[in-house]
Amino acid sequence: MPIDTLSLLKELAQAQESGKHVALATVVKARGSTPRNAGAKMLVYADGRTSGTIGGGEMESRVVAEALAALADGKPRLVPYTLVDPAQGDPGVCGGEMEIYVEPYLPPETVFVIGCGHVGQAVAELAHWLGYRVVVTDDREELVSAETITADLHLPGTIEDALAQFTVTSNTHIVVVTRNVLIDRRILPHLVKTPAQFIGVMGSRRRWTHTRSLLLEDGLTETELERFHSPLGLELNAETPKEIAVSIMAEIIMLRRAGTGKRMSNKLKTVSK
């Protein structure tokens, strides 16, 4: 494997580990006179920055645009280019033809459970079953173990410790299911500036009203408080920890998939008189 390809793949792995959005563009076919041969690669980051090259010029700028689109919709694409006549819209005059495969690499969809009590355990188990990567944390270290809670990553200790070891990305869904308001008061300011896609906080409306007032006293703004979803979950009249977990994960799936939360059937029961 060429040294430049090896270093690029190492960079791709590092980007994945750090939770960055990056697309890999690879020349999969090159015929005739082309600026790069099959196998040439380039990384494109979400901010438009690139690493490596597949030939430069107008063609490469078009591939960057395709890569950004792939990062936006999460779908790979195979893009053909003819390098003959710019007057006809071709991105070059080399005379050859190229095909570029653009593949997005996004951070894994992750559920980050803060609070490993009964509800946290049920959420972690259900999220894992649904195929999410699961990360859990709690200051009660005895609860954060493989014997107690299902997770891919167990982070016992403070929220500061957890965030130092786990990178929250735009594909992270945070579920705060702690045991009281004072813990939420300490934890939530650490979460508000993360790029998390969703931050849900368990509790009644009365509890959230109290929490909001405390956070406002602590200096959070109304705009920052809008990042939090509370009460957490869809209204299912859930009672048990497992039922509550279904309600929570249903809201996450609904938001992720742009659902409505409405019944699939619009049939209503009629009462005979």
Give dist(CA 59, CA 80) in Å, integer: 10
Q: Is the pTM of this model over 0.85?
A: no
Please state the rounded mean pLDDT for residues 196-214: 96
User: Tens digit of pLDDT for each residue in 32-73?
Assistant: 888 889 999 999 999 999 999 988 888 888 899 999 999 988
Q: What is residue 98's predicted lDDT score, i.e. its pLDDT?
A: 86
CA nearest to 24, candidates 80, 64, 72, 82 = 64
Give dist(CA 222, CA 220) in Å, integer: 7
Domains of the chain: 20-105 (no CATH), 110-256 (3.40.50.720)
Instruction: Find the Cα–Cα–Cα–Cα dihedral 141, 147, 148, 149, rounded to 10°.
Output: 100
Q: Residue 102: what are its φ and ψ, rounded to 5°?
A: -110, 120
Tally of CA atoms within 13 A in the half-sphere of 51 that contains its CB = 17
Model confidence band, residue 270 (pLDDT cutoffs 50, 70, 90): low
Q: What is residue 164's predicted lDDT score, i.e. its pLDDT?
A: 94
Residue spans of alpha helices (H) in the chain: 3-17, 57-73, 118-129, 159-165, 181-191, 205-217, 222-225, 241-256
Q: What is residue 90's predicted lDDT score, i.e. its pLDDT?
A: 43
Residue 198, classed as helix, strand or coil, is strand
How many CB atoms neighbour CB 35 within 10 A?
Answer: 19
Q: What is residue 3's predicted lDDT score, i.e. its pLDDT?
A: 60
User: Tens digit of pLDDT for each residue in 137-159?
Assistant: 999 999 999 999 999 999 999 99
